[in-house]
Chain A
Amino acid sequence: MKSAVVVFPGTNREQDAADALRLASGQWPAMVWHRETDIPNVDLIVVPGGFSYGDYLRSGAMAAHSPIVRAIAERAKKGVAVIGICNGFQVLTEAGLLPGVLMRNAGLKFVCRDVHLRVENAQTVFTAGYAQGQVIRVPVAHNDGNYFADKATLDRLEGEGRVAFRYTSPAGTLEDASNPNGSARHIAGVFNETKTVLGLMPHPENASDALHGGTDGLSLFQGLAKALG
């Protein structure tokens, strides 16, 4: 699997994503600076976490209109897999590649802790490393992770199997206490129509090595490496 990691001013998890990609695929990703207008020929594009453009205006809003995101949208249209993690998820929603928006956390606090996620659809390239309904433990670290979309959109996402992950208890049940940011219907990650674009707030790359305190996130990248070759 060849991959690329896009870097904006203020991105800060690009090296963590690169480490996880190398662990899973044996190859380092290409690092692509936001000023570039073209992306190397890769199987997977990663928009990593951080605070692109200092979260000015709205998280992800400035990055979403940079030339490199237009290039990402072109590739996504051709079916190239794209994953946006945390700020990357915010960028992809602002760019219109994924529905909804990530609002300020309901508790108004930056949340940085491990959460449990239930895999809601294991039939995609992103979730091929997991079993349907599996509960995994990965960290979140964000201020704006409160997923919002109107009722019709949420219903459509659920009906089309486009909810990727939900925040749950360790046992996999939906509890308000397990929802770290107030996300609608406990949604932690969603797919586009073709399930070739994934956005999620939690950080699987930061649960990819025993030294991180867990390796549940590595399966996401391993599943991708297997599915994308």
Chain B
Amino acid sequence: MKAKIHITLKSGVLDPQGKAIQHALHGLGFAGVDDVRQGKYIEIELGEADQTRARAQLDEMCKKLLANTVIENYAIEIQA
């Protein structure tokens, strides 16, 4: 199965890269952009057929390596 993982900065954590993107968008004339938060997107192919076990493994992966939970949240989406 395939898993899609979105990693985003927690609210309250400053995102200078997001701010720079916002300024660049304003520079391009997109005046309506009120805020930009950037993050990471990771796709994982997993040879595990059981959804529950897969989710548990992915959760562990996020906690141990993929996200730094001091500053980041993660969301796991599994495609059968």
Q: Which of B17, B65, B66, B68 contacts A104 (CB 8 A)?
A: B17
In the complex, A107 Cα to B14 Cα: how many Å?
Answer: 12
**Chain B, residue nearest A105 (CB):** B16
Distance A179 CA – B16 CA, assembled complex (angstroms): 15
Check A149 against B70 for contact (C-beta < 8 Å): yes
Interface centre among A57, A108, A182 (most CB of B within 10 A): A57
Contacts of A58 in B (CB 8 A): 68
Residues of A within 8 A of B70 (CB): 100-101, 148-150
Q: Which label, helix, strand, loop or mixed, suits the secondary structure of the B interface?
A: helix
Range, interface on chain B: 10 to 19
Which interface class (under 10, 10 to 19, 20 to 34, 35 or more) fits A? 10 to 19
Tell me whether B13 is interfacial, beta carbon within 8 Å.
yes
B20 within 8 A of A: yes
Q: Is the CB of A103 within 8 A of B66?
A: no
Q: Bound state CA distance, A108 and B15, in angstroms? A: 10
Chain A nearest CB from B8 CB (Å) reads: 14
Contacting residues of chain B (47-80) with chain A, CB-CB under 8 angstroms: 64-66, 68, 70-71
Q: Are A65 and B64 in contact (CB under 8 A)?
A: yes
Give chain B nearest CB distance to A87 CB in angstroms.
Answer: 15
Residue of A94, A103, A146 contacting most chain B CB atoms (<10 Å): A103
- Residue numbers of B with Cβ under 8 A of A are 13-14, 16-17, 20, 64-66, 68, 70-71
